[in-house]
Structures are given as structure tokens and as C-alpha cells.
Structure 1
Amino acid sequence: MDRLVIQGGIPLRGRVTVSGAKNAALPCIAAALLGSKPVTLRHLPAVSDIRTMIRVLQALGCEAAVEKDEPGYELTATLDAAGVGSGSLRAPYDLVKTMRASILVLGPLLARYGKASVSLPGGCAIGARPVNLHLEALERMGAVIQIDKGYVEAHVPAGRLKAIDHTFEKVSVGATENILMAACLAQGTTTLRNAAQEPEIGDLAAMLTEMGARIEGIDSPTLVIHGVDALGGCDHGVIPDRIEAGTFLCAVAAACGDVLLERVVPGQIRSIIDLLERCGCVFTEREGQDGLNLRIQRECGQKLRAKDVATAPYPGFPTDLQAQVMAVMTQASGISVIRETIFENRFQHAMELERLGANLRIDGGTAIIAGPSALTGCTVMATDLRASATLVIAGLVAEGETTVDRIYHLDRGYAGLERKLQGLGARIERVGGGKV
């Protein structure tokens, strides 16, 4: 099993290109099941979750042609669902056990083919993420659903889903995406209230619109979808990954340096920019060849100011950057309080940060960090995707050598992170045969 070995204490300098957003790419891949013509998706990050999702579609009968770009960070996939429907329409456990987003094929399969068998998904162990919000809405649309031996077994007796006026009990990105896709081919006009507003949902809606869907209220908490009889194909470029961008910003804030992020949407990461700016980092936005660029500067020796953070649904502070910010706050002067309001088990990285020398305490859903702490390298273990990125950031700061084990978590969501950091001057390398 691979691990990362990091020599800390080196400022980050240079430029780095942000890859396509994993959390936007996954629902876009699922949406290809709705198309009667091939769908081409560009800027897919070359990470294991994307490859797994493509294999899920192939298991359902979808043809897939995948090409990797020259640096090896992104993929282009052409997906043709013409052959889907002739088989069992079953998404097997062996494929979906490692990835939560696999449940996103349920809505498209029911909408277009009227039946589906999808294994209950896996993913990071960061807390309860029940699929009941997905299933309740689909049942209201006319699906008959039962859980049998770990599979969601569903069919539509009427042959076609019907439109609903539905208010989600709580804001859910996955449920919003799943029902949005299902509603595109449902009979009538569907209204989804209390819908999640993450940019990844807006990107999915943009792709569906390119395929011929009729959607109103994009980027708002109320989506109105006018069902159509069929969707076609499209050629769609996935938006940049705001979480990868935020991770690089946190790395520079913690380790110091001067880095230009290329292909980024500052408006989508405003909450992390504002936070790090209040901590003392300097930001500059400018036009680039492939969209906006964002420069972050933190002079070495400059003190960071401790600030409080509370996670919240978009446009609030993203839970997927909470762990990375904790690493930053270990280097800030004063006491910072981080409140996790989305997932109840997302402080698993805290114990590993303590091993490196962080001074912090966990009280339920609140973390209290006293800084700055002099971190010292040691061997630490990644427990989930974002925690692994946090330990890499801490390793960039720590004196001496840090080894991060179980980086298969990291590979689920970051394409070539260590190579991108090497391009910024970091002394980091991947070594095979890490301990379990």
C-alpha cells in the first residue's frame, strides 16, 4: 500500500492548475444514463472515484471511451448509454462499496428504464449519510422501493415517473442531484424546494440543459423541472474543483509561500478566501488563458491570526475544507474554534494532528485549537479523503520527516496531489508498500 513521505519546512512557490471537480463529475457521469445520444465529459479528474463510477456505468451496459491528458491529471470520457436496459440494470456491491456517489445512478435508471437494482453505497466513514431523502422523493414520484440483502430494488409500475412538488426535509446535495436527474424525464413539472445550492449542482443542471432538459431556478433553493420525453447528448466541461483549490490555499497559508492557482472560480470558494484573508494571507485575482487565476501570498515569518469557523451548506463554509483549515489553525496565533455542523464524525484527523504536535481538544462537534504549534514529523494514518489532505498539509509544515499512511483515501479525490506539490517546491514523494 502506498504512502507519502514529506520533508517539511519548505515554502510553496510557483503555479498549479486546479483539476476538474470530482463532486461535479460524478453526478455528470450518472446523468449520461439519461441521454439517447453519446455524452462527452471533459476535465474529469483522474482519481479512483471517477474510474469506479465509469465502471459502474459499464456494468450497466454503457459503452465508455476514456482518454487521459498529457500531465495525467484529467480524463475525457465519451459515454454511450444506448446499450443500457438490455441487461439487469444492477449496480453491484463490488463496485459501489467504496463510493457514496454510486447511489446517483438510481434516479436516472428509474427515469429512463423504469427499474433499478443498486447496492447501498459505501465511502468515507465520516458520519451518517442516509439515502432515505433520495428514496422518499422517488417513492412520491411513483417508484416502488424495497431494501433486499443490501440492495435498493426499485421499479416504476406506471412505466414513467410522475412530477411532484417536493420539499426536502434537510438540505442534501446527493438527494437534490438524484431527484433533479429523475425529474428531467418525469411526466409533468416537478418543483424541488429546500434544494442544495452547491456549484456542483449548478454544473449538473447546466449539463442536463445542454442535453435538452428544461430547468428553472438553477443555483437557487427552488428548482423547477419541466419533464421532457427524451434527452440527447452533449459535450460538457466540468467545473474546476473548489475543494482542491481550497486545499492548495490552506497548504500555502500553513506552510507559507507565493502560489498562483490557475483555472479557479474565486466566487465558488469565497468563504475560504475570506477566512484566510482575515488570518493574514493576501489574495489577487486576475484573468488567465483558461478562466480566472488566483494568487495567494503569505510571507514566511508572518504571523497568522486565529479565527473561528463553522461549517454550513453552500454558500457557507464547506465541510470538505474543515479538516484542512484545522491544519492551518495549528499555525495561527491564538485560540480558534471549529464547529462541524454537517457530519458528526469528521474530526478523526484531530488525533493524528496531535501526534504531530498540535495543541487541540475535541468536544462533540467542536474543535478548539491553540496555536501556533511547533509540529514535528512522525508517521500518521489517513482516515478519510479530506483528513488525508490535512495530514499532507501538516507534513509540509512539520520539522523533519512525516509519513502519511493509507493514502488510498487521498487517491479517491485528488489527482496527482504529490506531483502538483512537487511542482511548487515541496519535498514529497510516493513510496510503495506502506503499512496498513
Structure 2
Amino acid sequence: MKKIVINGGHPLKGEVAVSGAKNSVVALIPAIILAEDVVILDGVPAISDVDSLIDIMELMGAKVEREGETLAIDPRGVQDVPMPYGKINSLRASYYFYGSLLARFGQAVVGLPGGCDLGPRPIDLHLKAFEAMGAKVSYQGESMRLATDGNPLKGTHIYMDTVSVGATINTMIAASRAQGRTVIENAAREPEIIDVATLLNNMGAHIRGAGTDIITIEGVERLHGTRHQVIPDRIEAGTYIAMAAAIGEGVKVSNVLYEHLESFISKLEEMGVRMTVEEDSIFVEKQDQLKSVSIKTSPYPGFATDLQQPITPLLLRTQGRGNIRDTIYEKRVNHVAELARMGAKISVLSGQIVYEAPNSLSGAPVKATDLRAGAALVIAGLMAEGRTEITNVEFILRGYSNIIEKLTELGADIQLIED
């Protein structure tokens, strides 16, 4: 049982480097199954989701070598074996194995996905796309079987009923080895989709339009090895920027792509946060009085749902009232009760978060209920007076690479303790 202990009130100062994108790498690793030679990824974050994916790849027969942030995967020995429920259930992104195994072997038997509990996140769009390409779906206990009954996947025209990052990527992966042309309409536009398309194209795929709402994939017979640099994690970057604005005395956040954060940066500027945006970094000054704002999440390029929880503690030090409405995951409010336990004037009313600021936070025992809620509690703990103990830290370690070391370097009094 691990917990994070924070003695708050220590201002942050210095530089922190953003790691590679979690939401990219959890799709990039399963996509490598389609290659017929070694694929090397640079900029791989040190997070538990990556550890789980490596374990799964090795169980399937892949050879994996890891040195620092570089990951070399030889998928030639991968076998068509059922994926164990326990490993698969530990992370949401396990569904990317559906697309890669289906495209390589014509079938996939994979445990149903897990991850953070953010309310209903159905995979019906994934299944609809696979079925349109010729796969049949059946269930075997806690696993799902997708199979083409010996026939190759067929390219087709797919319209996504709702914008879905996971379904867009999964369809793109499967279609890379399908026969003929696949067109995805109403595709998600997130940077992570472009990152996966770039890897697949570097492996020999023919994908056009990634980053727009229409993606076209011409299927190919084989994909080869390559080397690929994972893009910076825009959610980690936003988390550290919000943290720096909340309790920083001059923090430089490096390895940042500003164009991936425009909606987030725009909202900070509306609050009055003083920043200097450079080519690959953002310097956040010490802040004075900030103005309260209201936030509405929406698909990219709108305000990211993954950043509404990390920005919440910063809102608590503004002046005035505001609200947060998450249109992606309406039940993404579990951090609210924990922040209230620390003295925040915050609640959930009619499906949206409402807050009144400024607040004086006090250290308290709190629980991370999901990945980004955990990040919010870390920021709140750094802001609070006294000692904060955060349990369920496994959620936080799923998505923030070396977070304890990075915050310690900035001057935080923070420890990861094993009970």
C-alpha cells in the first residue's frame, strides 16, 4: 500500500521537463504488433501503464528492451494467444490490442478494458468499426472475441456517431492492414491521433488526414520497423503549468508544444496568469490576484477533459465564483469531495462543479479516485497548510512519470511512502 505525503506551503521554483505522452504511448505500443521488424520508441514515460503494456507484449511473445526513455520492441515472435483478464483489466487502453491483433491474426481474444472509473465509456464505436470491416463479435466470460473467420479485414466507409479518440485510433490501426480503402468520418482530431498515424506511416502505412475530421487509410500488406519520437504529454504539461501558477515563484515547463495547449493557455490568460511562451517551453511567473473563470470541456481543440481536474485547485485561489461543466465525462467530479475535505468551497450542483474563491486549504487525508483527480490532490496538497496524505496513488503513477522526483527538484516537500 503506497501513499504520497506532502507538507504543503513550499513554493515551487526551477525547471521541469515534460515526458512523452501517456495517451500516445498506450496506443503506440499495441500498434507495434503490426510491424515485421524492430520498432524503437524514444521519449517513453516511466509510468505504470507502460509497465503493464510491456508485460502484456512479453506474454504474447514480443522481445522488449528498455533503457531510460527508449523502448525497443521486436514483435516478430508475437503469437495469437488470449490476453489475460488481470493484466488487461488494469488499464483502459487495452482495447488497442483489439485493432492490432485483429489486423495481424484475423482474430483477438482480449479481456474487457479497465482503467479509471469516469462513468460509462462504451466501446461500441470500436466494435461498430470492426464489424463494418468484416469482424464478428462474441463474448467469452470476461473476455471478448473478435474474428474474421479466415477472411481479411476489408476497407470501408465508417462514420463515428460521436467523436472518440480511442475508436478513431483503433480503427486506424486495424485499417492499416485491411484490404482496400477505409474512410473515417467525424474522426477525433487530438494530437495523439497524429502521433499514432505518424508511427504507422513511418512503418509503411498510407494514412492521410490525421488531425482532421476525415481520415483516409489505404491498407497495405506489410509494415516494417522504424524509430519514432513520442510527442510531449500535453496533459502533464498543463498539470505542471497549473501547479506553477498555483504555488510557483517562477517555474519553467520545458518540452511543451504550445499548439497542443491553446485552449488551456487561453483560459489561464483569461484568469490573469502571467506566462512567457517560448518555442518549446512556457515560463510561469509568480502570480498575484487571479480572476475566477468558468470552464466547459469539449473535444480537441477545445478545453481537454483531462485538464479540468488539474486546473481546479488553481481556480480555488482566484477571486470570485465559477463553474466547470465536463461535456465529455459528466461524472468526472470525484475530486470535488476530496477538495472539500481540505476546506475548499466547492460542490457538485446539477451535474456541474461550482466553486467560490479564494480558499484556504488545509492538509488532510484524501483519496485519489482516478488519475487526474489524483493530480488535482497533489496540487492542492502543495498549496495547503500542513500535511496531506494521498492514498490510491496507483492512479497517479499510471500517468505522471517520475512525479515525486520532478516535484522534489522544484522544492516541494513530497514523498512516496510504502506502508
Q: TM-score band (shorter)?
A: over 0.9
What amino acid sits opposite 2:270 in the alignment?
R
> Is 1:60 aligned to 2:60, yes or no?
yes
**What are the ranges of 5 or more consecutive residues in structure 1 without an aligned counterpart?**
69-74
What amino acid sits opposite 1:285 in the alignment?
V
Deviant stretches of 4+, over 6 Å: none
Match for residue 142 of structure 1?
A: 134
TM-score, normalised via structure 2 length? 0.98
Q: Is the deviation greater in 142-151 or in 161-170?
A: 142-151
Equivalent residues in 2 for 1:252-401 (5 A)? 252-287=244-279, 292-299=280-287, 302-401=288-387
Once the two structures are TM-superposed, the CA of residue 158 in structure 1 deviates from its matched residue by 4.4
Once the two structures are TM-superposed, the CA of residue 55 in structure 1 deviates from its matched residue by 1.4
What amino acid sits opposite 2:73 in the alignment?
L
Q: 1:415 aligns with which of 401, 404, 414?
A: 401
8 A contact 2:248–2:284 mirrored in 1: no
Match for residue 72 of structure 2?
A: 78
Q: 2:86 aligns with which of 85, 94, 101?
A: 94
Q: 2:185 aligns with which of 180, 189, 193?
A: 193
Q: 2:96 aligns with which of 97, 104, 117?
A: 104
1:136-181 Cα deviation digits (max 9, x unpaired): 1101101111112021112112431000100011111111111000
Q: Distance in 2 between matches of 1:218 and 1:172?
A: 13
Once the two structures are TM-superposed, the CA of residue 431 in structure 1 deviates from its matched residue by 1.6
1:229-279 Cα deviation digits (max 9, x unpaired): 111011001000001000001111221321111111011011111111111
8 A contact 1:355–1:378 mirrored in 2: yes
Match for residue 233 of structure 2?
A: 241
Q: Distance in 2 between matches of 1:99 and 1:369?
A: 31
What amino acid sits opposite 2:174 in the alignment?
A
Q: Distance in 1 between matches of 2:18 and 2:248?
A: 19
What amino acid sits opposite 2:139 in the alignment?
I
What amino acid sits opposite 1:165 in the alignment?
H
Equivalent residues in 2 for 1:200-239 (5 A)? 200-239=192-231
Q: Distance in 2 between matches of 1:149 and 1:255?
A: 49
Q: Distance in 1 between matches of 2:168 and 2:362?
A: 43
8 A contact 1:142–1:157 mirrored in 2: no
**What are the ranges of 5 or more consecutive residues in structure 2 without an aligned counterpart?**
none
SS of residue in 2 equivalent to 1:264: coil
Q: Distance in 1 between matches of 2:232 and 2:226?
A: 19
What amino acid sits opposite 2:156 in the alignment?
I
Match for residue 120 of structure 1?
A: 112
Match for residue 48 of structure 1?
A: 48
Q: Distance in 2 between matches of 1:18 and 1:221?
A: 28
Q: 1:159 aligns with which of 147, 151, 161?
A: 151
Q: Distance in 2 between matches of 1:151 and 1:432?
A: 33
Once the two structures are TM-superposed, the CA of residue 110 in structure 1 deviates from its matched residue by 0.9
Once the two structures are TM-superposed, the CA of residue 188 in structure 1 deviates from its matched residue by 0.5
What amino acid sits opposite 2:24 in the alignment?
A
> Is 1:19 aligned to 2:5, yes or no?
no
Q: Distance in 2 between matches of 1:323 and 1:66?
A: 32
Q: Is the deviation greater in 117-126 or in 152-161?
A: 152-161
Once the two structures are TM-superposed, the CA of residue 344 in structure 1 deviates from its matched residue by 2.5
Once the two structures are TM-superposed, the CA of residue 10 in structure 1 deviates from its matched residue by 2.0
What amino acid sits opposite 1:420 in the alignment?
K
SS of residue in 2 equivalent to 1:135: helix
8 A contact 1:341–1:365 mirrored in 2: no
Q: Distance in 2 between matches of 1:342 and 1:284?
A: 30
Once the two structures are TM-superposed, the CA of residue 218 in structure 1 deviates from its matched residue by 1.7
1:181-234 Cα deviation digits (max 9, x unpaired): 000110001000111111001000000110011111121010000111111011
SS of residue in 2 equivalent to 1:44: coil
The two structures, once aligned, show a CA RMSD in angstroms of 1.1
Match for residue 162 of structure 2?
A: 170
8 A contact 1:262–1:293 mirrored in 2: yes
What amino acid sits opposite 2:74 in the alignment?
D
Q: Distance in 2 between matches of 1:357 and 1:135?
A: 44
Match for residue 37 of structure 2?
A: 37
What amino acid sits opposite 2:368 in the alignment?
A
Q: Is the deviation greater in 182-191 or in 337-346?
A: 337-346
Q: Distance in 1 between matches of 2:295 and 2:351?
A: 12
Q: Distance in 2 between matches of 1:128 and 1:230?
A: 36
Q: Is the deviation greater in 88-97 or in 315-324?
A: 88-97
8 A contact 1:337–1:366 mirrored in 2: yes
* Matched residues, number: 419
What amino acid sits opposite 1:77 in the alignment?
L
Match for residue 417 of structure 2?
A: 431
